[in-house]
Amino acid sequence: QKEVEQDPGPLSVPEGAIVSLNCTYSNSAFQYFMWYRQYSRKGPELLMYTYSSGNKEDGRFTAQVDKSSKYISLFIRDSQPSDSATYLCAMIPVNTGTASKLTFGTGTRLQVTL
Amino acid sequence: NAGVTQTPKFQVLKTGQSMTLQCAQDMNHNSMYWYRQDPGMGLRLIYYSASEGTTDKGEVPNGYNVSRLNKREFSLRLESAAPSQTSVYFCASSVSAYSNQPQHFGDGTRLSIL
């Protein structure tokens, strides 16, 4: 079983819809959570970075963390065709004094249609 | 502001050939990383350099070598390329591998080995 599970999609939604992207994880040591957006033939671009349970909002994007359920979500409001990309979740464990390494989900491909 | 720059963007090699992938960052980050990205496998860490003068193995180091040339530059070398090394390679950097700060990625090198 992978440490981080993410549905690969593809997820197709009409323009203007609310999108929910999710990851589950098994390692309770994960404390820092990120969402990256990756356009085709480009590198991952950091969208959101959160620590601890709760919500963080940035424009049309909201990141939600539920540590008790080991579940994180990214919500996109008023989705646009320009949001069409692959979304990767990533996590870092609590700092133990050794080098922290990101653990990635495999990504969910999102297509926003006109 | 270029961020993380990778060269070349594309390369085709024959089995057994050698090649060095170059990466440079202009964010004054201490730590740098090399990943490979394969369909269904997500991003996997090959090697990282927590600070200038140090390098360590990641999840999939076999068949690769790295050099941290200075604070800005981190190269990845394939000594004898194999078809299994066909992949997209990403370089990333962060403030410090010992903090919980996210990583920032370049746009990748697409490598095909025939």
d(CA A80, CA A113) in angstroms, rounded, equals 8
d(CA B31, CA B35) in angstroms, rounded, equals 13
CA dihedral angle for residue A90, residue B2, residue B106, residue B71, rounded to 10 degrees: -90
d(CA A16, CA A10) in angstroms, rounded, equals 18
CA dihedral angle for residue A49, residue B68, residue B27, residue A90, rounded to 10 degrees: -10
Report in angstroms the alpha-carbon separations of A35 from A4, A6, A57, B11.
13, 12, 12, 29
Nearest CA-CA distance, residue A66 and chain B, Å: 19
Please list every residue in chain B whose beta carbon sits closer than 8 Å to the beta carbon of residue A50.
none
Chain B contact residues (CB < 8 Å to A): 4, 31, 40-43, 45, 48, 50, 56, 58, 90, 97-100, 102-108, 110
d(CA A36, CA B97) in angstroms, rounded, equals 18
Which of B56, B57, B105 would you mutate first to test chain A, the one with the most A CBs within 10 A? Answer: B105
Q: What is the pLDDT of residues A1-25, one digit of tens each?
A: 789 999 888 999 999 999 999 999 9
Nearest Cβ partner for B100 among A46, A92, A105: A92
Q: What is the pLDDT of residues A60-103, one digit of tens each?
A: 999 999 999 999 999 999 999 999 999 999 999 887 777 778 89
Closest residue in chain A to residue B49, using alpha carbons only? A99
Is residue B83 helix, strand or coil? helix
Report in angstroms the alpha-carbon separations of A31 from A54, A67, A72, A93.
12, 8, 11, 5
List of chain B residues with pLDDT < 70: 1
Which sign, positive or negative, has the C-alpha torsion A51, A34, B63, B22? negative
For residue A109, pLDDT over 80 is answered with yes
Chain A contact residues (CB < 8 Å to B): 8, 31-32, 34, 36, 41-46, 49, 51, 88, 90, 92, 95, 97-102, 104-107
Q: What is the mean pLDDT of residues A35-42?
A: 96
Nearest CA-CA distance, residue B32 and chain A, Å: 11
Q: What is the pLDDT of residues B56-75, one digit of tens each?
A: 999 999 999 999 999 999 99
d(CA A57, CA B6) in angstroms, rounded, equals 32
